Amino acid sequence: MVRVVFLHPDLGIGGAERAVIDAALSLKSRNHAVHFVTAHHDKSHCFQETKDGSLNVTAVGDWLPRSIFGKCYALCAYLRMIYAAVYLVFFSSVEYDLIFCDQISACIPVLKFSKAKIIFYCHFPDMLLTQRKGVLKRLYRAPIDWLEERTTGMADCVLVNSKFTAGIFKETFTSLVKLTPEVLYPIPDFSALDKPAPPPTSDLLPPNVSTVFLSINRYERKKNLSLAIDALAFLKQVSDRSLDGVHLIMAGGYDERVIENREYYNELKQRADDAGISEHVSFIRSFGDAQKRTLLQNSSCLLYTPDREHFGIVPIEAMYLRCPVIAVKSGGPLETVGHETTGFLCQQNDKEFAEAMMQFIRNKDLHIKLGEAGRNRVLKLFSFEAFTNQLDSIVGKLSAQSPHRPLTLSLMWTMAFVCVLGLLLVFVFL
Residue 332 pLDDT greater than 80, yes or no: yes
Q: pLDDT by residue (tens digit) across 165-196? A: 999 999 999 999 899 999 999 887 788 899 99
Pick 227 or 69 by higher pLDDT. Answer: 227
Question: pTM value?
Answer: 0.75
Superfamily of domain 3-187+385-429: Glycogen Phosphorylase B; (3.40.50.2000)
pLDDT of residue 429: 46
Residue 430: band (very low, low, confident or very high) from pLDDT cuts 50, 70, 90 = very low
As a whole number, the mean pLDDT across the chain is: 90
Residue 412's pLDDT is 57
What digits encode the pLDDT tens for the residues 125-150? 888 878 777 888 888 888 888 999 99
Q: What is the pLDDT of residues 348-377, one digit of tens each?
A: 999 999 999 999 999 989 999 999 999 999
* Topology (CATH level 3) of domain 192-381: Rossmann fold (3.40.50)
Q: Which residue has the higher pLDDT, 33 or 258?
A: 33
Q: How far apart are CA 253 and CA 286, in angstroms?
A: 5
Q: What is the location of CATH 3.40.50.2000 in the chain? A: 3-187+385-429, 192-381
The per-residue pLDDT for range 5-17, each reduced to its tens digit, is 999 999 998 888 9
223 pLDDT higher than 90 = yes
Confidence at residue 307, expressed as pLDDT on a 0 to 100 scale = 94
Confidence of residue 411 (pLDDT cuts 50, 70, 90): low
Mean pLDDT value of segment 319-328: 97
The reported pLDDT for the residue numbered 109 is 92
- Kindly tell me if the per-residue pLDDT of 74 is higher than 90: no
Q: In this model, does residue 302 exceed pLDDT 90? A: yes
Each residue's pLDDT tens digit, 281-301: 999 998 888 999 999 999 999
pLDDT at 151 over 60: yes
